[in-house]
């Protein structure tokens, strides 16, 4: 565990936030026993509830309930062919839903934590077909964030949760980001302050040869070392329908230019390391700090009305690969 959250976030009074265009009122729940109980009750009633994980905020729904899962796609405006990650509190629960094997057992040492495993779906599982988008595999993860853990235990069922942002936009790392994107479309968000890692989980495909489907906080070399073998990375052009694999994703409103070593006069400068800039992902050049700040800073620059963002080069090592993966998609031509 070892996570700390700003104490103010834990003691925040519950506030109601209303979207004028919609009749749904989104509640901001505190990460207290009471708030978590209310969040679990809403999930049980088939409502959508956003909650924190150590990576980003997820938009949770009962993974067994077709109607509620369908509402995730609707709230996000997400193409319905894209499958969702199921969240469970521990390895034992995960084994109820997927076919477990030796490799899964080895990499499960990263659980609870920012790793998602794609494994063959167990036959007879009660997971909604809308969660897997008809695939015979399931993406599953055990988050470490204490609020996520408490919610999953209180709800006592599998929770399907994509990142809690409108499809194609920047992932949320605070409850405010969630409300800015989805207020009026979901029942509640549990506010436990900013997410520790700030980048979506690493996705490892284990249904066939171990394949890195999405780089993330658990690095390819962490996984290679654990499994004692090289891990293939999925080629970018491959046919899988994964939104995180779409060329344009995590996109701010502004145009994004990467690997900027000089700045143009009309650009807002997002730096890394010891450079003169408007906002610095990590002045000391620390990749963990940069990952934790990335989405929050893109949200901040969007809110400031920046039209062009130039970003310093980020080293392509360790967590830098996941940062560059997200930045490349943020900079890609929009559909
Ligand atoms: O950190 C995270 O993983 C966050 C938190 C909330 O857990 N969730 C997240 O979910 O990033 P989402 O939906 O934004 O991304 C899930 C990715 C998508 O690219 C999806 O296509 C892929 O996982 N995925 C889900 N099921 C899959 C499957 N059976 N095979 C291959 N890819 C799958
Ligand atoms: Mg996402």
Per-residue pLDDT tens over the stretch 179-232: 999 999 999 999 999 999 999 999 999 999 999 999 999 999 999 999 999 999
Q: What b/e sequence results for 117-153 when a residue is b if at least 16 CB atoms lie within 10 Å of its CB, and e otherwise?
A: bbbbbeeebebbebbbeebebbbbbbbbbbbbbbbbe
Query: What region does 39 belong to: left with phi over 0, alpha with psi -120 to 50, or beta?
Result: alpha
For residue 167, the CA-to-ligand 2 centroid distance in Å is 7
Predicted TM-score (pTM) of the model is 0.87
Q: Does residue 133 carry a pLDDT above 70? A: yes
Report pLDDT for 253. Answer: 87
Place of tokens 């109820």: 96
User: Are the C-beta atoms of residues 326 and 294 closer than 8 Å to each other?
Assistant: yes
Please provide the distance, in angstroms rounded to a whole number, between the alpha carbons at the two ends of the chain.
Answer: 40
Structure tokens at 35: 């708030």
Residues with CB under 6 A from ligand 1: 53, 55-56, 58, 82-85, 116, 118, 132, 135, 137-139, 141, 161-163, 200-201, 203, 213, 240, 242-245
Q: What is the pLDDT of residues 95-116, one digit of tens each?
A: 999 999 999 999 999 999 999 9
Supply the DSSP symbol for 38: H
Check pLDDT > 50 for residue 6.
Answer: no
Residue 298 Cα to ligand 2 middle (Å): 15
- Given this model, what pLDDT does residue 314 score? 98
pLDDT at 20: 41
**Residue of 56, 83, 172, 182 best suited for mutating to test ligand 1, as the one with most atoms within 8 Å of CB:** 83
Hey, which of 128-132, 134-138, 145-149 has the most confident mean pLDDT? Answer: 145-149
Q: What are phi and psi of 28, to 5 degrees?
A: -100, 110
CB-based contact 89:152 (threshold 8 Å): yes
**Residue 306 has which token pair?**
């920046």
pLDDT at residue 149 tops 70: yes
């Amino acid at each position: 565990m070892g996570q700390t959250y700003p104490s103010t976030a834990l003691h925040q009074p519950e506030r109601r936030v209303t979207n004028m265009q919609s009749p749904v009122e989104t509640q901001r729940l505190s990460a207290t026993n009471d708030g978590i109980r209310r969040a679990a009750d809403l999930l049980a009633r088939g409502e959508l509830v956003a909650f924190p994980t150590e990576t980003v905020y997820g938009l949770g729904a009962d993974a067994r309930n077709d109607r509620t899962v369908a509402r995730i796609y609707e709230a996000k405006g997400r193409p319905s062919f894209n499958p969702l990650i199921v969240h469970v509190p521990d390895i034992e629960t995960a084994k109820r839903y997927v076919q477990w094997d030796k490799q899964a057992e080895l990499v499960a040492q990263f659980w609870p934590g920012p790793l998602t495993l794609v494994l063959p779906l167990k036959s007879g599982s009660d997971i909604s077909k809308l969660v897997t988008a008809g695939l015979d595999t399931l993406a599953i993860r055990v988050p470490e964030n204490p609020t996520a853990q408490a919610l999953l235990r209180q709800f006592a069922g599998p929770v399907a949760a994509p990142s809690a942002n409108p499809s194609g936009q920047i992932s949320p790392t605070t409850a405010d980001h969630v409300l800015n994107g989805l207020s009026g479309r979901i029942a509640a968000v549990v506010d436990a302050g900013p997410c520790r890692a700030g980048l979506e989980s690493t996705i490892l495909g284990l249904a066939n040869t171990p394949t890195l489907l999405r780089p993330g906080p658990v690095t390819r070399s962490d996984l290679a070392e654990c499994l004692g073998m090289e891990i293939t990375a999925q080629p970018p052009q491959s046919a899988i329908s994964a939104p995180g694999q779409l060329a344009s994703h995590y996109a701010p409103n502004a145009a994004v230019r990467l690997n900027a070593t000089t700045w143009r006069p009309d650009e807002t400068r997002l730096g890394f390391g010891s450079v003169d800039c408007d906002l610095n992902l990590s002045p000391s050049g620390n990749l963990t700090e940069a990952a934790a700040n990335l989405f929050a800073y893109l949200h901040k620059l969007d809110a400031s009305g920046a039209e062009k963002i130039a970003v310093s080069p980020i080293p392509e090592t360790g967590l830098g690969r996941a940062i560059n993966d997200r930045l490349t998609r943020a900079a890609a031509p929009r559909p």
